[in-house]
Structure 1
Amino acid sequence: MMKWAAELSLLFVALIWGVTFVVVQQAIEFLPPLLFNGIRFSFAAFLLFGLILFRKEAVKLTAKTWKHGMILGVCLAIGYAFQTIGLLYTTVSKTGFITGLSVVLVPLLSLILLKKRPAPNAAIGSVTAAAGLYLLTAGGAGGWNIGDFFVLICAFGFAFHIIFTDAYTQYSSALALTAVQITTVAVLCFIGGFLLEDWQTSLTAANLLNPAVWSGLLITAFLATALAFFIQTAAQKHTSPTRVVLILAMEPVFGALTAFFWINERLAAAGLTGCILIFFGMLLAEIPVHKWLHTKSITNKP
């Protein structure tokens, strides 16, 4: 895979994830969030394990892979569960941009947990994104609500997932690690759904055969989960982590555009300004400005 093809495929992943915010919001009007995610990730897990068997890679499902995959799965489960629950109470646009804060949270959590001092651009990006979050939630689109809080928890879940993924991918097969974590998400969401949600009423033929539900499950399971994670894993071998994050930062933009054109969801001026600040904060957090300036200063020396 050439570099341009890898980066174009990552942009396609960002588009898929952005579009599915609307798809999921419509589906969970009929099926509770945790049960929806349980079914979604089960479909994806069956597909991934089928691919492992087809490629005869079952031997790569080592004890370490299961351990690391389950840790990653817990982080993903927190992220997807709270994101989906949050969509019950807040808008698609706000969900997309608050979720995107995970990019900014990574350097901050790395400082706390790993004692890795963030670069100046990451610190500036964090402050910019925090200001955008305030405008988006407190100043626009109905103000701060419980759904925004749930999505903020989701952003922390995805941030921890990024940190742990960086630590674990060198020890396991990418496909095997992905399959284990997707399976873990499915199991945890099913447990939560059966314990906390009214599954007896929800799991009916009428709900499951509703076009918004079955189409949402198929789109998210195969496109937004199995295919998207597989593409991301393969493409990252041909481009830099910085460019990966920058490209995937387009996800909330695609989400907001989809919400605007599909369900006519509009943001107030303050909310729109907040989205712009969060987006630029995400970019600042990943662009190595300090390295460019350092290189430029050396080049310009007499």
Structure 2
Amino acid sequence: MTAASRIGTLATIGLLVMTAVWGSTFVLIKDVVGRMPVADFLAVRFIVAAVAMFALFHRHVARLGRKQLLRGIALGALYGVGQLLQTWGLSLISPSVSGFVTGMYVVFTPILTTVLLRERLPAAVWLAVGLATLGLALLSLNGFSVDTGVWLTLASALLYGLHIVALGRWSRADDAFGLSAVQMAVIALVCLLATAGHGGPTLPPDRNAWLAVLYMALIAGAGAMLMQTWAQAHLPATRAAIVMTTEPVFAAAFAVALGSDVLTWRMLLGGGLVLAAMYMVELMPRRGAAAERSAEAVHHEV
């Protein structure tokens, strides 16, 4: 295994850990936003995350060039608006439907890659996208009505897809810390501005809400953003998006493990399809590298 292949494998594992953390947050978010306004919850969550990241990585931010700083601002704005739309949508629909519609970034990402970057994607990637989408539907949907919450969540999925494509294009391994911190600060600002209509954010109402917010700020917020920014410096955008569709698989696994849900054939089949899609996009680069090595060996022999 080459050094690049090893780093790609580590990046994939990092994204899987990140999506496992994200998968654990759906029920927590649903509970907290039932007791405090959506924008207030997000503002507190991302302000805490931004303060933590700047305390750790302010020197890395200072080393960013003007271009990367502007890119971090643009990325943070995309993600911040996406978070607002997704969480508002989640307050209106069930967590399972929210999980499916949010996961539609797996469809938007290759479309945006093709349209914006003029990259031609292999047929196997589109097959993996189809498998992942079908798996998400089996995992998440049991009846589906297109209402305001669904449209808000679909808009957030489009923004997440754009964020994934742009991050894949702009992220560099050596500025992942600084770029992550800038993104987090802008996300916090976007969410804080959304609370301006009622005079600024209210704080979480009780100890349990604070614990949930801190977990989502430090682990599912700052830690996840840092991991995604580093990982996408080493993975194609569409490959990263398909790996991240394992989020509802982890969400279902947590629900079953904690006794809040029962294992069903839909979970098993849907999760299997999502994992098959991920395996497909993970296998393609290795096959390509193996083919290149074989071609080089034949060339040297000749």
TM-score normalised per structure 2? 0.77
Matched, 1:219 2:215: yes
Matched, 1:100 2:96: no
Partner of 2:284: 288
Which amino acid counterpart does residue 169 of structure 2 have in structure 1? A
Matched, 1:259 2:260: no
| CA RMSD, Structure 1 to Structure 2 (Å) | 3.7
Partner of 2:60: 57
Unpaired runs of at least 5, structure 2: 1-5, 296-302
Partner of 2:155: 153
2:120 to 117, 120, 142: 117
Which amino acid counterpart does residue 230 of structure 1 have in structure 2? L
Question: Residues 145, 282 of structure 1: CA spacing in aligned structure 2 closer, same or farther, 3 A cutoff?
Answer: farther
Identity of aligned residues (%): 28
Instruction: Number of aligned residue pairs: give it.
Output: 287
Q: Distance in 2 between matches of 1:99 and 1:211?
A: 29
Which amino acid counterpart does residue 212 of structure 2 have in structure 1? G
Deviates more, 1:75-84 or 1:156-165: 75-84
Question: Residues 286, 11 of structure 1: CA spacing in aligned structure 2 closer, same or farther, 3 A cutoff?
Answer: closer
Are the aligned partners of 2:246 and 2:274 in contact in 1 as well (CA < 8 Å)?
Answer: no
Are the aligned partners of 1:23 and 1:212 in contact in 2 as well (CA < 8 Å)?
Answer: no
Q: Distance in 2 between matches of 1:188 and 1:261?
A: 35
Unpaired runs of at least 5, structure 1: none
Question: Residues 159, 262 of structure 1: CA spacing in aligned structure 2 closer, same or farther, 3 A cutoff?
Answer: same
Structure 1 position 115, deviation (Å): 2.0
Question: Residues 236, 155 of structure 1: CA spacing in aligned structure 2 closer, same or farther, 3 A cutoff?
Answer: closer
SS of aligned partner of 2:120: coil
Which amino acid counterpart does residue 184 of structure 1 have in structure 2? V
Partner of 2:31: 26
Which amino acid counterpart does residue 154 of structure 1 have in structure 2? S
Are the aligned partners of 1:74 and 1:185 in contact in 2 as well (CA < 8 Å)?
Answer: yes
Partner of 1:41: 46
Partner of 1:210: 206
Which amino acid counterpart does residue 167 of structure 2 have in structure 1? T
Which whole-Å deviations, capped at 9, do the CAs of 1:91-119 have from their partners, x for residues lacking one?
A: 32332333233233211111122222221
TM-score normalised per structure 1? 0.77
Question: Residues 184, 105 of structure 1: CA spacing in aligned structure 2 closer, same or farther, 3 A cutoff?
Answer: same
Structure 1 position 236, deviation (Å): 6.1
Question: Residues 113, 90 of structure 1: CA spacing in aligned structure 2 closer, same or farther, 3 A cutoff?
Answer: same
Partner of 1:67: 70
Structure 1 position 162, deviation (Å): 1.0
SS of aligned partner of 1:288: helix
Q: Distance in 2 between matches of 1:46 and 1:131?
A: 39
Structure 1 position 180, deviation (Å): 1.1
